[in-house]
Structure 1
Amino acid sequence: MPERNQIIDDLRGVCMLGVIGIHVGSFVLEAPQPNSFLYMLLEILSRYSVPAFFFISGYGLFCQYRPETQFAYLPFLKKRLQGAGLPYVVWSLLYLLYFSFVMPGCINWQPTNLLFLLFYGLACYHLYFMVILLWFYFSFPLWHRLFALMQRCGLKLSFALLFILQIAFNYWTCHPGINASELPVILQNLFNYRLNYLPLHYLFIFMLGGLAAIYYNAFIKTITRHFTAVSCFYLFSLLFIGGSYYYYYLYHGYSLIILVNTFQQLSLQGFLYTIGSLLFFCAVFTKAGLKNQLMRFIHLLSVNSLIVYFIHPFWMDIINRLCLAGGIVMTTKRVIVIYFLLVLISVLSSIVITRIGQKLPLLALLLTGKRPKKI
């Protein structure tokens, strides 16, 4: 079994389309009459993308570190801190410098405040993902041993139990019913920003990636043999989250922003939709291969996904400022154009940065955590 394969890797491409969609969704709200369907498409139906990256991470880690083997923790951690921690810190500082430039005085550069921003992933709204990923790396020995335990207890029963516990935990953390205002400031922050750093919210998805890695052939065989059932489950999950969105929008008068907070990826609807999307995309990619232009484009996105992830909020902010300066009123068509423009600019930026990084290895290391391969 290969440590990497194109099917899993290409999930990064379709996930990046989802991540960009989530962020572009904010433009819909700027329209005089926001399009509720476009908002659902961008802000709700793109929510599979963030958990899916943890599926990919789980797959990659368990490919290299199978449960029956031992691994040296410190070398493992050093490698991961370089690969993920270094670019996270560098890009966080770059965004803080950028915001200081466009909004002078908005950033407190005191060391304690910088540590606070870095610890919770608050330098820019998309960087919390890297914090959660780093916590998965820090705690990987626990999940490595957990998978071995699940194998001994039986994977079907173990994953069923983990599935139920995940739903319960996510519901509790989203609706804790706790007043943290009387707690010490440190505990208040840990509570208030719990969604920014706790890897437990995505543990089932992460372990599912491990399952796909360890039993890859069986995983692919199962989802392709039962492609109709996988497609039906995906359709059910899509209708469940989409139907819930419109039910509360039309019959309970929920605002669009409240709907996003209600049906985000940690909700029951979002959780099932994530699982359905992962199984469906893996099955489709297995059948499609690289036989069409769409898959080639997704592969291109996958190859450039890291820099696209880091840089697209910068270009989105530039586009937003240009629209405000030009007095451009948002419409459905303009939001769609902005989406595709943002994808294009971000991919081109990644290609340019990658080529510059071939000549400046230190820059490549700082921005991506990897030294360029010698050609």
Structure 2
Amino acid sequence: MGKRYLDEIDLMRAFVILGVLTVHTLSFFNVLNSDGTPGFYALGALITATHFTRETFMFVTGLVLFTTYLHQDPFQPLPFWRKRFQFIVIPYVVWTLAYIAFVALLTPGFSWSWSTLAPAVIHNLLTGNMFFLYFLVVSMQLYLIFPLLLYGIRKAEKYHVHILVASFALEICLMWLNQNILDSLTPVGWPKWLYDLYTYRDRNLLMYQFWFIAGGILACHYDQVSAWMDRHRKALFAVLVASLAVVFGHYVLERLVMHVSEDEAELVLQPIMVPYSLVVTCAFWYAGLAWSKRKERPGWRAFSRFVRVASQTSFGIYLIQPFPLYAMEVVIDDLDGRGIPVWLHYALLPAAVLFSYFSSMLAAYILMKIPVVSYVVGRKAKLRHARGEPVRRAA
């Protein structure tokens, strides 16, 4: 059985990466608000509701990997590792160095000596601590153990439902442990290796195990599950609306009744985000399935072209986003310093999201068309193109 391309994943990537930019833009706008004001609580609730993006991307990564290699027999780990790591290690190293240089340029009096740069480079390469590179760190861990996961999923076909339920329960327990136990610890005097494991636990593969396993099991039963989802689409969107209400209510309860901190209320790795993110992920997946059936219709072709470009550049958008986000922050901060009206401050929010999204997309698209350079956005550009084609497509 040959490889299967899932068109619906293109739509998921295109709009989930938009959700990522939305989270980061909302977070900056809320920094400019005063805690305890209605505007602060409103944006805080929106940030919490859009925190499904991390889990959805983990799910998509697992689904695509298992769909690609499930029926490859025999599966060869060495070619798999060689192919996958060249498209993630190169971007990881290049963007870590680029981010370090970027931060250094913005830091007055920064010393460019080797004694300053070397520890920073080593630390950030080992921890993925620059901006949003934790996702690449988790992905590399997944690639390492993927042959073992693939073998287990194949061999345990009769127990997929049991594995999925057990994995879901484990994920809830891990999120409870993170929120209620680990977050309250004071790691003073701990050995450095244990301190680092504790501090950077949000980039530990175990914390996201359910999403990879769910993607793998879905890949094994794709047609059956998609048919079931289509039959129950009305129930899915009813549950989605109810889930949004529950998440908003949970945020309000924590902030206004239990008086927890904003960071804890918005926490990604907490129990309520597991079922909520699962529902939102299913809704995005169903939306992708619905689009894939219409993508070639005359009225949908322009939108379909946008989806494909956004999907192809989604990894690049993720890597490039710190730069347009910083530019956006400088402009908005300057405007707020001039005393713009409150209504204009909030009216600029969607424009800021779209600026960050489309400027990152354009930069990623240009980079992915340049041979060799394309590796920095996880792509391999062809050496020859039809004359004018890159320019036409970019336009």
Instruction: Give me the whole-angstrom Cα distance separating, in 2, the residues matched to 1:237 and 1:93.
Output: 40
Change (3 A) 1:328 1:17: farther
CA-based RMSD of the aligned residues comes to 2.5
CA distance in 2, matches of 1:67, 1:109: 49
| Rounded Cα–Cα distance in structure 2 between residues aligned with 1:109 and 1:81 | 28
Percent of residue pairs identical: 23
1 CA distance for matches of 2:211 and 2:166?
Answer: 13
How far did 1:248 drift?
1.9
Q: Structure 1 residues 187 and 255 mapped into 2: Cα distance closer, same or farther (>3 Å)?
A: closer
Q: Say yes or no: does 1:256 pair with 2:258.
A: no
Q: Does 1:363 align with 2:370?
A: no
Matches within 5 A, 1:228-267: 228-261=234-267, 264=268, 266-267=269-270
Question: Quick one: distance in 2 between partners of 1:170 and 1:246?
Answer: 20
Query: C-alpha distance in 2, partners of 1:67/1:245?
Result: 43
**Unaligned regions of 5+ residues in structure 1, if any?**
none
Q: Hey, what does 1:120 align to over in structure 2?
A: 127
For 1:165 and 1:252, the matched residues in 2 are separated by 26
The residue that corresponds to 1:271 in the other structure is: 274
Partner of 1:30: 32
Q: Is the 8 A contact 2:368 2:379 kept in 1?
A: no
TM-score using structure 2 length = 0.84
Partner secondary structure for residue 370 of structure 1: coil
Report the equivalent of 1:11.
Answer: 12
- What letter matches 1:219 in structure 2? V
In structure 2, distance between residues paired with 1:69 and 1:192: 40
Cα pair 1:9 1:56 within 8 Å, conserved = no
The more displaced of 69-78 and 14-23 is 69-78
**Alpha-carbon distance, 1:135 to partner:** 0.7
1:92-129 CA-to-partner distances (Å, cap 9, x unmatched) read 111111111121428874434322211211122x1111
- Structure-2 residue corresponding to 1:344: 358
CA distance in 2, matches of 1:53, 1:95: 22
Within 5 Å, give how 1:279-294 maps onto structure 2: 279-288=282-291, 289-290=294-295, 292=300
Aligned to 1:40: 45
Q: Which has the larger radius of gyration?
A: 2
- How far apart are the structure 2 equivalents of 1:109 and 1:365? 28
Shift of 1:349: 2.1
The reply on whether 1:307 has 2:316 as its aligned counterpart is: yes
Give the number of aligned pairs: 364
Amino acid paired to 2:201: R
Question: Cα gap change, 1:109/1:221 in structure 2, threshold over 3 Å: closer, same or farther?
Answer: farther
Q: Is the 8 A contact 1:17 1:343 kept in 2?
A: yes
**C-alpha distance in structure 2 between counterparts of 1:207 and 1:244, whole Å:** 27
TM-score in terms of structure 1 length:
0.88
Do the aligned partners of 2:364 and 2:377 also contact (CA within 8 Å) in 1? Answer: no
* In 1: Cα distance, 2:22 partner to 2:351 partner: 12
Give the Cα separation in 2 of the matches to 1:141 and 1:312. 32
- Separation of aligned partners in 2, 1:68 and 1:374: 30
- Aligned counterpart, 1:318: 327
